[in-house]
A = this chain, B = another copy of it.
Amino acid sequence: MSTIKRKEREKELRREAILSAATDVMLQYGLYGLNLDLVAKKSQLAKGTLYLYFKSKEEILATLTLRARQSLTTEFLKIHNEEIGPIEKLRKVINANFEFFKKQPLYFDLVSLYEANHSLNEEEELYKSSEEISLLVFKIISDARESGLIREDIDPMTATMNLWASTVGTLQLIKVRGSLIDEKFGIKNEVLFNSFMEIFIQGISKK
């Protein structure tokens, strides 16, 4: 029995090692620079072994994306469960994206960009994980609307999508051009992001 468990544990460890190595590689070479030779080297496993745990490179990517989404969901969930006002909650959720972006840059990229390159193939679980994120944001926005703070002509689901899209856009800009924008215009990343948040919140608030 315990042998079986140990084996399972080891198997799990191997999976983690692979994912961790893949993360390292992508942090170094970018989202499209995932390379199984390097993953094998970094995880100290044989290349063939990778295929015992993941049926393709694509699956590694999908698994990491799933985790990334789940990780963000966790953050959102924490905030959702806090006992604070709906606008503050909204602010916190928006800010959580920025924190996520700074602390888990690869996860952020996966959450933002995975869909762009794999629109058609998403499997059930992966798809669900995406819905979950939307749903949480949707709830928070709905609550805010119900509390009377938000314009009633705004459809909460539409606003959810708007928020998500704009947030991703803002953070991608920061990633790609953040330092240039600071150098050239003296606009710090934090200022840029806060500005975005304030505009969005005033944008959906009642006058």
Chain A residues engaging chain B, CB cutoff 8 angstroms: 30, 32, 115-117, 119, 151, 154-155, 157-159, 161-162, 164-170, 172-177, 181, 185, 187, 191-192, 195-196, 198-204, 207
Give chain B residues whose Cβ lies under 8 Å from the Cβ of A157: 185, 187
Interface of A is mostly: helix
* A118 to B116 alpha-carbon distance, docked (Å): 18
A192 contacts B162, C-beta separation under 8 Å: yes
* A103 to B181 alpha-carbon distance, docked (Å): 29
A207 contacts B204, C-beta separation under 8 Å: no
Shortest beta-carbon distance from A49 to chain B in Å: 14
Shortest beta-carbon distance from A190 to chain B in Å: 11
Shortest beta-carbon distance from A52 to chain B in Å: 10
Residues A199 and B164 in contact in the complex (CB < 8 Å), given A115-B177, A172-B169, A176-B119: no
Give chain B residues whose Cβ lies under 8 Å from the Cβ of A30: 117
